[in-house]
Amino acid sequence: MTTTTAGTTKVYRVYIKATPQAIWDAITKPEWTRQYGYQGLAEYDLRPGGRYRALAIPEHREAGMPEVPVEGEVIEVDPPVRLVQTWRPTWLDEPATRLTYEIAERGNGVTSLTVTHELGDAPQTMAQVNGEVESAGGGWAEILSDLKTLLETGKPLYA
């Protein structure tokens, strides 16, 4: 996986042995998002202006996480190659950030997934997604590694 930083913009790229549609589904369908990363259930209204919500699983709610830890709005949808949305952790008092998923078939069954997170004036959100907050997970690097492992092996990284 490659990661680049330009000011407050973070770009992550991972190559996955999977189809663009499989990656799209893993990002947008709750039956997939429950299996990797923070295991929240993604709820998308996949149209410009539609709502995005990540719903916390019971174990995380019991630990004090809000029912909707992340919310946003869909800006652009082009399945299965591009999704642009806003993204805001609800427990932080910061503005929404901009998140872009770009999915590109590379050949031989390999597809690249590029996640660009424009963090603007959201330093606490940046620390979270960078995996710099103690006991809060590994941020995008860990989530994307887990997604790749799940799609390539059928099992999440920590199975």
13 vs 137, which has greater pLDDT?
13
Q: What is the CATH number of the domain that holds 53?
A: 3.30.530.20
In a domain, 158, yes or no: no
Q: Give the least confident one: 4-8, 29-33, 140-144.
A: 4-8
What DSSP string describes 52-103?
A: EEEEPPHHHHHTT--SS-EEEEEEEEETTTEEEEEEEETTS-S--EEEEEEE
Mean pLDDT, residues 73-77 taken together = 98
In a domain, 159, yes or no: no
In 3D space, the residue among 57, 52, 61 whose CA is nearest the CA of residue 41 turns out to be 57
Q: Does the pLDDT of residue 117 top 80, yes or no?
A: yes
Mean pLDDT value across the chain: 92
Q: Are 90 and 66 in contact (CB under 8 A)?
A: yes
pTM above 0.85, yes or no: yes
Q: Does the pLDDT of residue 130 top 90, yes or no?
A: no
In the structure encoding, which two tokens stand for residue 138, read together? 């590994």
Range of the domain at 103: 2-153
Mean pLDDT, residues 86-104 taken together = 96
pLDDT at 5: 60
In a domain, 24, yes or no: yes
pLDDT at 132: 87
Q: Give the least confident one: 1-5, 67-71, 79-83.
A: 1-5
As a whole number of angstroms, the distance between CA 83 and CA 6 comes to 21
pLDDT at 1: 66
**Amino acid sitting at position 155:** K
Mean pLDDT, residues 55-77 taken together = 93
Domain count across the chain: 1
DSSP 26: H
In a domain, 143, yes or no: yes
Most confident range (mean pLDDT) of 24-28, 53-57, 130-134 is 24-28
pLDDT at 64: 87
In a domain, 110, yes or no: yes
